[in-house]
Structure 1
Amino acid sequence: MATTSSIAGYWDAAAGRFDEEADHGLRDVRVRAAWGRRLREWLPPAPSRVLDLGCGTGSLMLLLAEQGHRPVGVDLSPRMIAHARAKLAGAGIGTGGEALVGDAGDPPVGLRRFDVVLARHLLWTLPDPRAALRRWADLLRPGGRLVLVEGRWNMPADGAGYVAGAEAMPWMGGVGAAVLTGALRELVTELRVEPLTDPMLWGREIDDERYAVIATI
Protein backbone atom coordinates (compact mmCIF):
# COMPACT_ATOMS: atom_id res chain seq x y z
CA MET A 1 0.00 0.00 0.00
CA ALA A 2 1.18 3.51 -0.73
CA THR A 3 2.47 5.42 2.30
CA THR A 4 1.40 8.85 3.46
CA SER A 5 4.96 10.15 3.14
CA SER A 6 5.32 8.91 -0.44
CA ILE A 7 2.00 10.48 -1.45
CA ALA A 8 2.96 13.79 0.18
CA GLY A 9 6.32 13.65 -1.58
CA TYR A 10 4.68 13.07 -4.96
CA TRP A 11 2.46 16.13 -4.59
CA ASP A 12 5.28 18.22 -3.13
CA ALA A 13 7.24 17.50 -6.31
CA ALA A 14 4.23 18.46 -8.45
CA ALA A 15 3.43 21.68 -6.59
CA GLY A 16 5.67 24.00 -8.59
CA ARG A 17 3.95 23.21 -11.91
CA PHE A 18 0.52 22.25 -10.64
CA ASP A 19 -1.17 25.49 -11.71
CA GLU A 20 -0.11 25.02 -15.33
CA GLU A 21 -3.14 22.76 -15.82
CA ALA A 22 -6.08 24.98 -16.79
CA ASP A 23 -8.46 23.54 -14.19
CA HIS A 24 -5.80 23.65 -11.46
CA GLY A 25 -4.49 27.19 -11.70
CA LEU A 26 -7.67 28.79 -13.13
CA ARG A 27 -5.45 31.34 -14.86
CA ASP A 28 -7.70 31.51 -17.94
CA VAL A 29 -10.51 33.92 -17.06
CA ARG A 30 -13.03 31.75 -18.95
CA VAL A 31 -12.09 28.61 -17.03
CA ARG A 32 -12.11 30.54 -13.78
CA ALA A 33 -15.55 31.96 -14.55
CA ALA A 34 -16.88 28.47 -15.39
CA TRP A 35 -15.80 27.11 -12.01
CA GLY A 36 -17.13 30.20 -10.27
CA ARG A 37 -20.57 29.61 -11.78
CA ARG A 38 -20.57 25.97 -10.70
CA LEU A 39 -19.62 26.84 -7.14
CA ARG A 40 -22.46 29.34 -6.93
CA GLU A 41 -24.87 26.66 -8.17
CA TRP A 42 -23.64 23.93 -5.83
CA LEU A 43 -23.11 25.82 -2.58
CA PRO A 44 -25.58 27.46 -0.21
CA PRO A 45 -25.57 31.25 -0.04
CA ALA A 46 -22.51 32.96 1.38
CA PRO A 47 -21.19 33.14 3.93
CA SER A 48 -20.89 29.39 4.41
CA ARG A 49 -18.14 27.45 6.14
CA VAL A 50 -16.56 25.31 3.42
CA LEU A 51 -13.99 22.58 4.00
CA ASP A 52 -11.97 22.24 0.77
CA LEU A 53 -10.19 18.87 0.93
CA GLY A 54 -7.19 18.18 -1.25
CA CYS A 55 -7.13 21.92 -1.84
CA GLY A 56 -3.82 21.87 -3.71
CA THR A 57 -2.57 25.36 -4.46
CA GLY A 58 -5.80 26.95 -3.26
CA SER A 59 -7.43 28.04 -6.53
CA LEU A 60 -10.92 26.97 -5.46
CA MET A 61 -10.32 28.36 -1.97
CA LEU A 62 -9.61 31.73 -3.54
CA LEU A 63 -12.82 31.59 -5.56
CA LEU A 64 -14.78 30.61 -2.47
CA ALA A 65 -13.34 33.46 -0.43
CA GLU A 66 -14.05 35.95 -3.22
CA GLN A 67 -17.66 34.76 -3.26
CA GLY A 68 -17.94 35.53 0.46
CA HIS A 69 -17.52 32.03 1.89
CA ARG A 70 -15.15 31.07 4.69
CA PRO A 71 -12.99 28.25 3.31
CA VAL A 72 -10.67 25.97 5.23
CA GLY A 73 -8.34 24.05 2.93
CA VAL A 74 -6.52 20.83 3.79
CA ASP A 75 -3.78 19.16 1.76
CA LEU A 76 -1.19 16.52 2.57
CA SER A 77 1.53 18.40 0.69
CA PRO A 78 3.28 21.19 2.63
CA ARG A 79 4.41 22.77 -0.66
CA MET A 80 0.87 22.83 -2.01
CA ILE A 81 -0.29 24.51 1.19
CA ALA A 82 2.55 27.05 0.96
CA HIS A 83 1.34 27.99 -2.52
CA ALA A 84 -2.26 28.20 -1.28
CA ARG A 85 -1.33 30.50 1.59
CA ALA A 86 0.71 32.73 -0.73
CA LYS A 87 -2.15 32.84 -3.23
CA LEU A 88 -4.66 33.91 -0.59
CA ALA A 89 -2.30 36.47 0.91
CA GLY A 90 -1.40 37.84 -2.52
CA ALA A 91 -5.06 38.40 -3.29
CA GLY A 92 -5.52 40.25 -0.01
CA ILE A 93 -7.83 37.55 1.36
CA GLY A 94 -5.92 37.32 4.64
CA THR A 95 -8.21 35.91 7.33
CA GLY A 96 -10.83 35.00 4.73
CA GLY A 97 -9.24 31.58 4.25
CA GLU A 98 -7.25 29.05 6.26
CA ALA A 99 -4.95 26.43 4.71
CA LEU A 100 -3.80 23.43 6.78
CA VAL A 101 -1.30 20.66 6.17
CA GLY A 102 -2.94 17.34 6.92
CA ASP A 103 -4.59 14.15 5.74
CA ALA A 104 -7.68 15.05 3.71
CA GLY A 105 -9.11 11.62 4.50
CA ASP A 106 -9.18 12.55 8.18
CA PRO A 107 -8.95 16.35 8.25
CA PRO A 108 -7.22 18.01 11.24
CA VAL A 109 -10.11 20.32 12.11
CA GLY A 110 -10.96 19.14 15.61
CA LEU A 111 -14.59 19.63 16.61
CA ARG A 112 -15.38 22.15 13.90
CA ARG A 113 -18.37 21.43 11.67
CA PHE A 114 -19.03 22.80 8.19
CA ASP A 115 -21.87 23.76 5.89
CA VAL A 116 -20.07 22.20 2.90
CA VAL A 117 -17.35 19.61 2.40
CA LEU A 118 -15.85 20.05 -1.07
CA ALA A 119 -13.38 17.68 -2.72
CA ARG A 120 -12.19 17.74 -6.31
CA HIS A 121 -10.31 14.79 -7.87
CA LEU A 122 -9.27 13.53 -4.45
CA LEU A 123 -10.87 10.17 -3.75
CA TRP A 124 -8.60 8.22 -6.09
CA THR A 125 -5.58 9.26 -3.99
CA LEU A 126 -6.95 7.86 -0.70
CA PRO A 127 -6.07 4.42 0.68
CA ASP A 128 -9.58 4.06 2.17
CA PRO A 129 -11.99 6.34 0.29
CA ARG A 130 -15.13 4.83 1.84
CA ALA A 131 -13.86 5.58 5.34
CA ALA A 132 -13.06 9.11 4.19
CA LEU A 133 -16.64 9.60 2.97
CA ARG A 134 -17.97 8.55 6.38
CA ARG A 135 -15.60 10.96 8.11
CA TRP A 136 -16.58 13.80 5.79
CA ALA A 137 -20.28 13.23 6.43
CA ASP A 138 -19.57 13.49 10.16
CA LEU A 139 -17.92 16.88 9.63
CA LEU A 140 -21.11 18.41 8.23
CA ARG A 141 -23.77 20.22 10.16
CA PRO A 142 -27.31 18.80 9.82
CA GLY A 143 -28.48 19.71 6.32
CA GLY A 144 -24.91 20.24 5.15
CA ARG A 145 -23.69 19.38 1.66
CA LEU A 146 -21.06 17.11 0.21
CA VAL A 147 -19.82 18.41 -3.14
CA LEU A 148 -17.59 15.85 -4.83
CA VAL A 149 -16.07 16.53 -8.25
CA GLU A 150 -14.90 13.16 -9.52
CA GLY A 151 -14.54 10.92 -12.54
CA ARG A 152 -12.56 8.18 -14.25
CA TRP A 153 -9.66 9.67 -16.17
CA ASN A 154 -7.39 8.46 -18.92
CA MET A 155 -4.67 7.29 -16.55
CA PRO A 156 -3.35 3.82 -15.71
CA ALA A 157 -5.53 2.00 -13.17
CA ASP A 158 -2.45 0.08 -12.01
CA GLY A 159 -0.90 3.17 -10.49
CA ALA A 160 1.93 3.43 -13.01
CA GLY A 161 3.58 6.83 -12.72
CA TYR A 162 2.17 7.51 -9.26
CA VAL A 163 3.71 6.13 -6.04
CA ALA A 164 4.89 2.68 -5.02
CA GLY A 165 1.94 0.57 -3.85
CA ALA A 166 -0.64 2.69 -5.68
CA GLU A 167 -2.00 -0.34 -7.49
CA ALA A 168 -3.60 -1.44 -4.20
CA MET A 169 -5.58 1.79 -3.80
CA PRO A 170 -9.29 0.99 -4.28
CA TRP A 171 -10.18 3.80 -6.67
CA MET A 172 -6.88 4.24 -8.47
CA GLY A 173 -7.62 5.82 -11.84
CA GLY A 174 -10.78 7.45 -10.56
CA VAL A 175 -14.26 6.33 -9.54
CA GLY A 176 -17.36 6.13 -11.69
CA ALA A 177 -20.57 7.88 -10.68
CA ALA A 178 -22.44 4.61 -10.08
CA VAL A 179 -19.82 3.37 -7.62
CA LEU A 180 -19.56 6.67 -5.77
CA THR A 181 -23.32 7.17 -5.42
CA GLY A 182 -23.60 3.58 -4.16
CA ALA A 183 -21.03 4.33 -1.46
CA LEU A 184 -22.94 7.46 -0.44
CA ARG A 185 -26.49 6.09 -0.25
CA GLU A 186 -26.39 5.19 3.44
CA LEU A 187 -24.69 8.46 4.41
CA VAL A 188 -26.95 11.07 2.80
CA THR A 189 -30.63 11.91 2.58
CA GLU A 190 -30.57 12.97 -1.06
CA LEU A 191 -28.10 13.36 -3.89
CA ARG A 192 -27.83 14.21 -7.53
CA VAL A 193 -25.20 13.64 -10.19
CA GLU A 194 -24.27 16.41 -12.61
CA PRO A 195 -22.15 15.55 -15.68
CA LEU A 196 -19.23 17.92 -16.19
CA THR A 197 -18.70 17.70 -19.93
CA ASP A 198 -18.32 21.43 -20.58
CA PRO A 199 -14.79 21.84 -22.01
CA MET A 200 -14.60 25.30 -20.50
CA LEU A 201 -14.22 23.71 -17.06
CA TRP A 202 -11.08 21.89 -18.19
CA GLY A 203 -9.64 24.25 -20.76
CA ARG A 204 -10.00 21.57 -23.45
CA GLU A 205 -12.26 18.89 -24.85
CA ILE A 206 -12.47 15.72 -22.73
CA ASP A 207 -13.32 12.12 -23.57
CA ASP A 208 -13.45 10.55 -20.12
CA GLU A 209 -16.05 10.49 -17.32
CA ARG A 210 -16.27 13.65 -15.22
CA TYR A 211 -19.12 14.61 -12.93
CA ALA A 212 -20.12 16.20 -9.65
CA VAL A 213 -22.14 14.62 -6.87
CA ILE A 214 -24.06 17.07 -4.71
CA ALA A 215 -25.42 15.33 -1.63
CA THR A 216 -27.29 16.52 1.45
CA ILE A 217 -26.73 15.01 4.89
Structure 2
Amino acid sequence: MSDLATAIANYWNAAASSFDDEPDHGLRAEHTRAAWARRLETWLPSGPVDVLDIGCGTGSLSLLVAEAGHRVTGVDLAPRMVEQAREKLAAADLTGRFLVGDAAMPPTGDERFDVVLSRHLVWTLPDPEAALREWVERLRPGGRLVLVEGRWREAGQSGAPYVAGAELLPWSGGVGADVLKAVVGPLVAELRIEPLEGDADLWGGPVNDERYALIARV
Protein backbone atom coordinates (compact mmCIF):
# COMPACT_ATOMS: atom_id res chain seq x y z
CA MET A 1 0.00 0.00 0.00
CA SER A 2 1.02 3.60 -0.51
CA ASP A 3 1.88 5.74 2.50
CA LEU A 4 -1.51 7.47 2.23
CA ALA A 5 -3.39 4.17 2.00
CA THR A 6 -1.51 2.88 5.04
CA ALA A 7 -2.34 6.07 6.98
CA ILE A 8 -6.03 5.74 6.04
CA ALA A 9 -6.11 2.08 7.08
CA ASN A 10 -4.42 2.92 10.39
CA TYR A 11 -6.86 5.77 11.03
CA TRP A 12 -9.96 3.63 10.56
CA ASN A 13 -8.42 0.74 12.48
CA ALA A 14 -7.86 3.06 15.45
CA ALA A 15 -11.37 4.51 15.06
CA ALA A 16 -13.04 1.11 15.28
CA SER A 17 -13.44 1.17 19.06
CA SER A 18 -15.55 4.33 19.00
CA PHE A 19 -17.02 4.08 15.51
CA ASP A 20 -20.43 2.88 16.67
CA ASP A 21 -20.83 5.86 19.01
CA GLU A 22 -22.10 7.88 16.03
CA PRO A 23 -25.89 7.39 15.76
CA ASP A 24 -25.82 6.45 12.07
CA HIS A 25 -22.86 4.09 12.54
CA GLY A 26 -23.90 2.00 15.50
CA LEU A 27 -27.66 2.22 14.85
CA ARG A 28 -28.19 1.75 18.57
CA ALA A 29 -31.35 3.88 18.74
CA GLU A 30 -34.37 1.89 17.59
CA HIS A 31 -35.78 4.71 15.44
CA THR A 32 -32.43 5.12 13.64
CA ARG A 33 -32.06 1.39 13.11
CA ALA A 34 -35.65 1.16 11.83
CA ALA A 35 -35.10 4.08 9.44
CA TRP A 36 -32.13 2.35 7.80
CA ALA A 37 -33.98 -0.98 7.67
CA ARG A 38 -36.87 0.70 5.84
CA ARG A 39 -34.55 2.28 3.29
CA LEU A 40 -32.68 -0.97 2.65
CA GLU A 41 -35.98 -2.75 2.12
CA THR A 42 -36.76 -0.39 -0.76
CA TRP A 43 -33.23 -0.37 -2.22
CA LEU A 44 -32.57 -4.12 -2.24
CA PRO A 45 -34.47 -6.73 -4.29
CA SER A 46 -36.73 -9.19 -2.57
CA GLY A 47 -34.54 -11.90 -1.17
CA PRO A 48 -32.64 -13.81 -0.61
CA VAL A 49 -29.90 -12.21 -2.72
CA ASP A 50 -26.11 -11.93 -2.50
CA VAL A 51 -25.00 -8.53 -1.19
CA LEU A 52 -21.44 -7.19 -1.18
CA ASP A 53 -21.13 -4.49 1.50
CA ILE A 54 -17.98 -2.56 0.57
CA GLY A 55 -16.45 -0.51 3.37
CA CYS A 56 -18.67 -2.38 5.79
CA GLY A 57 -17.12 -0.84 8.91
CA THR A 58 -18.43 -2.51 12.05
CA GLY A 59 -21.16 -4.27 10.09
CA SER A 60 -24.27 -2.33 11.10
CA LEU A 61 -25.74 -2.30 7.59
CA SER A 62 -24.54 -5.85 7.00
CA LEU A 63 -26.50 -6.89 10.07
CA LEU A 64 -29.69 -5.31 8.70
CA VAL A 65 -29.08 -6.99 5.35
CA ALA A 66 -28.67 -10.37 7.04
CA GLU A 67 -31.73 -9.80 9.21
CA ALA A 68 -33.71 -9.22 6.02
CA GLY A 69 -32.74 -12.72 4.88
CA HIS A 70 -29.98 -11.86 2.41
CA ARG A 71 -26.51 -13.39 2.13
CA VAL A 72 -23.95 -10.72 2.97
CA THR A 73 -20.23 -10.39 2.34
CA GLY A 74 -18.54 -7.41 3.97
CA VAL A 75 -15.16 -5.94 3.02
CA ASP A 76 -13.18 -3.35 4.96
CA LEU A 77 -9.57 -2.20 5.00
CA ALA A 78 -9.45 -2.03 8.82
CA PRO A 79 -9.02 -5.41 10.56
CA ARG A 80 -10.60 -4.16 13.79
CA MET A 81 -13.71 -3.04 11.91
CA VAL A 82 -13.97 -6.48 10.32
CA GLU A 83 -13.53 -8.16 13.69
CA GLN A 84 -16.40 -6.13 15.15
CA ALA A 85 -18.60 -6.88 12.16
CA ARG A 86 -18.05 -10.60 12.62
CA GLU A 87 -18.85 -10.31 16.32
CA LYS A 88 -21.96 -8.27 15.65
CA LEU A 89 -23.52 -10.86 13.36
CA ALA A 90 -22.42 -13.75 15.55
CA ALA A 91 -24.07 -12.11 18.56
CA ALA A 92 -27.29 -11.93 16.56
CA ASP A 93 -26.91 -15.60 15.53
CA LEU A 94 -26.72 -14.55 11.88
CA THR A 95 -24.34 -15.62 9.15
CA GLY A 96 -22.10 -13.22 7.28
CA ARG A 97 -18.70 -13.37 5.62
CA PHE A 98 -16.28 -10.55 6.37
CA LEU A 99 -12.95 -9.97 4.64
CA VAL A 100 -10.08 -7.55 5.20
CA GLY A 101 -9.23 -5.91 1.91
CA ASP A 102 -9.05 -2.88 -0.34
CA ALA A 103 -12.48 -1.47 -1.18
CA ALA A 104 -11.26 -0.51 -4.65
CA MET A 105 -10.48 -4.17 -5.40
CA PRO A 106 -12.58 -6.34 -3.08
CA PRO A 107 -10.90 -9.71 -2.40
CA THR A 108 -13.79 -11.83 -3.63
CA GLY A 109 -12.17 -13.28 -6.74
CA ASP A 110 -14.51 -13.98 -9.63
CA GLU A 111 -17.67 -13.95 -7.52
CA ARG A 112 -20.60 -11.87 -8.71
CA PHE A 113 -23.30 -10.33 -6.56
CA ASP A 114 -26.88 -9.19 -6.91
CA VAL A 115 -26.18 -5.98 -4.97
CA VAL A 116 -23.09 -3.91 -4.29
CA LEU A 117 -23.75 -1.64 -1.31
CA SER A 118 -21.46 1.12 -0.05
CA ARG A 119 -22.02 3.94 2.43
CA HIS A 120 -19.85 7.02 2.92
CA LEU A 121 -16.78 5.42 1.37
CA VAL A 122 -15.88 6.88 -2.02
CA TRP A 123 -14.47 10.09 -0.52
CA THR A 124 -11.67 8.02 1.06
CA LEU A 125 -10.51 6.43 -2.22
CA PRO A 126 -7.46 7.54 -4.23
CA ASP A 127 -9.21 6.65 -7.52
CA PRO A 128 -12.97 6.51 -6.88
CA GLU A 129 -13.90 6.36 -10.57
CA ALA A 130 -11.81 3.22 -11.09
CA ALA A 131 -13.35 1.70 -7.97
CA LEU A 132 -16.86 2.37 -9.24
CA ARG A 133 -16.07 0.65 -12.53
CA GLU A 134 -14.73 -2.33 -10.60
CA TRP A 135 -17.84 -2.50 -8.41
CA VAL A 136 -20.14 -2.52 -11.41
CA GLU A 137 -18.10 -5.40 -12.83
CA ARG A 138 -18.82 -7.36 -9.64
CA LEU A 139 -22.57 -7.29 -10.33
CA ARG A 140 -24.59 -9.97 -12.06
CA PRO A 141 -26.77 -8.93 -15.00
CA GLY A 142 -29.67 -6.93 -13.61
CA GLY A 143 -27.79 -6.33 -10.36
CA ARG A 144 -28.05 -3.17 -8.28
CA LEU A 145 -25.47 -0.64 -7.17
CA VAL A 146 -26.52 1.20 -3.99
CA LEU A 147 -24.32 4.11 -2.90
CA VAL A 148 -25.13 6.25 0.14
CA GLU A 149 -23.04 9.40 -0.20
CA GLY A 150 -23.01 13.16 0.31
CA ARG A 151 -21.06 16.36 0.79
CA TRP A 152 -20.22 16.78 4.46
CA ARG A 153 -20.89 20.10 6.18
CA GLU A 154 -17.33 20.08 7.50
CA ALA A 155 -15.92 20.09 3.96
CA GLY A 156 -14.55 23.50 3.18
CA GLN A 157 -14.19 24.50 6.82
CA SER A 158 -10.73 25.26 8.13
CA GLY A 159 -8.82 22.51 9.88
CA ALA A 160 -6.36 19.73 9.25
CA PRO A 161 -7.37 16.69 7.16
CA TYR A 162 -8.20 13.54 9.09
CA VAL A 163 -4.93 12.03 7.84
CA ALA A 164 -2.05 13.85 6.19
CA GLY A 165 -2.58 13.93 2.44
CA ALA A 166 -6.31 13.17 2.57
CA GLU A 167 -7.07 16.67 1.29
CA LEU A 168 -5.51 15.61 -2.03
CA LEU A 169 -7.99 12.79 -2.61
CA PRO A 170 -10.26 13.47 -5.62
CA TRP A 171 -13.47 13.50 -3.57
CA SER A 172 -12.13 14.60 -0.21
CA GLY A 173 -15.03 15.89 1.88
CA GLY A 174 -17.60 13.91 -0.07
CA VAL A 175 -19.13 13.98 -3.52
CA GLY A 176 -22.28 15.73 -4.71
CA ALA A 177 -25.10 13.81 -6.35
CA ASP A 178 -24.61 15.51 -9.72
CA VAL A 179 -20.94 14.52 -9.88
CA LEU A 180 -21.55 10.92 -8.82
CA LYS A 181 -24.46 10.57 -11.22
CA ALA A 182 -22.28 11.77 -14.10
CA VAL A 183 -19.63 9.16 -13.30
CA VAL A 184 -21.95 6.20 -12.66
CA GLY A 185 -24.51 6.96 -15.37
CA PRO A 186 -22.46 5.64 -18.33
CA LEU A 187 -21.77 2.39 -16.44
CA VAL A 188 -25.38 1.37 -15.76
CA ALA A 189 -28.73 0.88 -17.48
CA GLU A 190 -30.80 3.07 -15.18
CA LEU A 191 -30.19 5.28 -12.17
CA ARG A 192 -32.03 7.38 -9.64
CA ILE A 193 -31.07 9.71 -6.80
CA GLU A 194 -32.95 9.61 -3.50
CA PRO A 195 -32.34 12.63 -1.20
CA LEU A 196 -31.74 11.63 2.41
CA GLU A 197 -30.83 14.82 4.27
CA GLY A 198 -34.48 15.43 5.19
CA ASP A 199 -34.82 12.15 7.09
CA ALA A 200 -33.42 13.04 10.51
CA ASP A 201 -34.03 9.54 11.85
CA LEU A 202 -31.28 8.21 9.58
CA TRP A 203 -28.66 10.45 11.15
CA GLY A 204 -29.75 10.64 14.76
CA GLY A 205 -30.92 14.23 14.29
CA PRO A 206 -31.25 17.00 11.69
CA VAL A 207 -28.40 17.57 9.24
CA ASN A 208 -27.74 20.56 6.99
CA ASP A 209 -25.44 19.08 4.36
CA GLU A 210 -26.10 17.05 1.21
CA ARG A 211 -26.87 13.37 1.74
CA TYR A 212 -28.44 11.00 -0.75
CA ALA A 213 -28.61 7.47 -2.11
CA LEU A 214 -27.78 6.58 -5.70
CA ILE A 215 -29.56 3.41 -6.79
CA ALA A 216 -28.60 1.99 -10.17
CA ARG A 217 -29.27 -1.17 -12.16
CA VAL A 218 -26.86 -2.76 -14.62
**TMscore range, shorter length:** over 0.9
CA distance in structure 2 between the partners assigned to 1:68 and 1:2 by the alignment: 39
Contact 1:153 1:173 in 2 (8 A): yes
**Measured at CA, do residues 121 and 2 of structure 1 come closer, stay the same or move farther in structure 2, by a change above 3 Å?**
farther
Partners of 2:144 and 2:3 in 1: CA distance = 30
Relative to the length of structure 2, the TM-score reads 0.96
Alignment of 1:103 onto 2:102 = yes
CA apart distance, 1:156? 3.5
Report the Cα distance in structure 1 between the residues aligned to 2:90 and 2:159, rounded to whole angstroms: 35
Output the CA distance in 2 between the equivalents of 1:103 and 1:159.
27
**Alpha-carbon distance, 1:51 to partner:** 0.3
The alignment partner of 1:204 has SS state of coil
In the TM superposition, structure 1's runs of 4+ consecutive aligned residues that sit over 3 Å from their partners are 156-159
Rounded Cα–Cα distance in structure 1 between residues aligned with 2:169 and 2:83: 27
* Contact 1:194/1:211 (8 A) holds in 2: yes
- The DSSP-based 3-state class of the residue aligned with 2:19 is helix
Say whether the 8 Å CA contact 1:176–1:209 is kept in structure 2: yes
CA deviation profile, 1:90-128 (whole Å, cap 9, x unmatched) = 1111xx211110001110000100000000000000000
SS of residue paired to 2:186:
coil
- Asked whether the 8 Å contact 2:161–2:167 carries over to 1, the reply is no
Mapping of residues 38-49 of structure 1, within 5 Å: 38-49=39-50
Residues 75, 103 of structure 1: 8 Å contact kept: yes
Residue 175 of structure 1 aligns with which residue? 175
Does the 8 A contact of 2:155 with 2:174 survive in 1? no
- How do 1:1-217 residues align onto structure 2 when only pairs under 5 Å count? 3-93=4-94, 96-157=95-156, 160-196=160-196, 197-217=198-218
Q: Check whether the contact 2:124–2:169 (CA below 8 A) recurs between aligned residues.
A: yes
Q: Tell me the C-alpha RMSD between the 2 structures.
A: 1.3
Q: Do the aligned partners of 1:2 and 1:166 also contact (CA within 8 Å) in 2?
A: no
Unaligned stretches of 5+ in structure 2?
A: none
Q: What per-residue deviation string (whole Å, max 9, x for no partner) do you get for residues 137-165 of structure 1?
A: 00000000000000000224588231111
Secondary structure of 1:201's aligned partner? helix
TM-score of the pair, normalised by structure 1: 0.96
Runs (5+) with no aligned partner, structure 1? none
Any idea what the Cα deviations from partners look like across 1:54-81, whole Å, max 9, x if unmatched? 0000000111001000010000000100
AA aligned to 1:86 is E
Is the 1:146–1:215 Cα contact (8 Å) retained in structure 2? Answer: yes
Q: Structure 2 counterpart of 1:110, which letter?
A: G
**2:178 partner letter:** A
| Greater shift in the superposed pair: 158-167 or 25-34 | 158-167
Task: Deviation per CA, 1:165-199: give whole Å up to 9, x if none.
Answer: 11210000000000000001210010000000200
Contact 1:2 1:165 in 2 (8 A): no
